[in-house]
Amino acid sequence: MSGHSKWANIKNKKAKTDSQKAVVFQKYSRELIVAARLGGADPAGNFRLRTAIEKAKAAGLPNDNIKRAIEKGAGAGAAENYEELTYEGYAAGGVAVVLEAMTDNRNRTAGDVRSIFTKFNGNLGETNCVSWMFDKKGSIEFDTSVDFDKLFEAAINLDAEDVQEDDDCYRVITSVENFQAVTEGLEAEGFKSTTAEFTRIPQNTIGITDVKTATSVMRLIDRLEELDDVQNVYANCDIPQDVLQQVEV
């Protein structure tokens, strides 16, 4: 029941060096708006909103910004009419890429995404061309100061699917259906998560050992993540650390 998520590590390392706070804040604000619009402004009765608030606070989004976004979503302000979209395609080396977006202009978003795929040796595909290669799961992360054995036992008792031990965090993996129950159950046991979110885990990975190919893949991912409309990017690449260190994005 233990393991390592190399793609999660790549994402985390990139996130820690991402200096574009305005873009990051905009992504969290959009999630808050949509969560409040779909489930109401009370986080006690809206699990998606509660997790969005926790993620936004952890990212440093000011409380005033969080409040305004929730009010917009709940109808107290002029809320943008965002829709949630998924795009899929291939990066260099046959790497499968899935990205989730929130946009008020799907034509703009599609054009921006297609342009980036083309520029960095990728191909934007049709719906379901690669998403079937990924399993949608719940991911709940904890600081390594947590007692791993106790976390493991509590998670398994709550029917979590996996508990992973990485260098900088512990990660509990759940089914989509059981995500809320496990998250709230672990909270009730005294475990405070650092993040709780849905993710897409590749069923198989493609090893990339060529620096040129790795650079094209990581540049494509990096530019997609820089788009205001893009919330999350997932890929099934497995890039060794020594190769990753030579990549300049």
CA distance 235 to 64: 34
pLDDT digits (tens, 9 = 90+) for 58-102: 888 999 999 999 998 888 655 568 899 999 999 999 999 999 999
Q: Which residue has the tokens 């979503």?
A: 73
In one letter, which amino acid is 71? E
Block means of pLDDT (10 residues each) for the chain, 249 residues, are 44 51 84 91 92 90 92 74 93 96 94 97 95 96 95 97 92 96 96 92 95 95 93 94 87
In the chain, the domains with their CATH numbers are 133-202 (3.30.70.980)
pLDDT of 23 reads 78
Helices 21-39 and 63-73, axial angle in degrees (round to 10): 40
pLDDT of 74 reads 87
CA distance 109 to 102: 9
pLDDT of 2 reads 35
pLDDT of 77 reads 56
DSSP letter (8 states) at residue 159: T
Q: Which residue has the tokens 């991911």?
A: 139
pLDDT digits (tens, 9 = 90+) for 135-147: 999 999 999 999 9
User: C-alpha distances in angstroms, 209 versus 7, 206, 235, 246?
Assistant: 15, 10, 16, 11
CA distance 194 to 77: 30
The SS3 call for residue 126 is coil
pLDDT of 3 reads 37
In one letter, which amino acid is 224? L
Whole-model pTM: value is 0.84
Element at 168 (helix H, strand E)? none
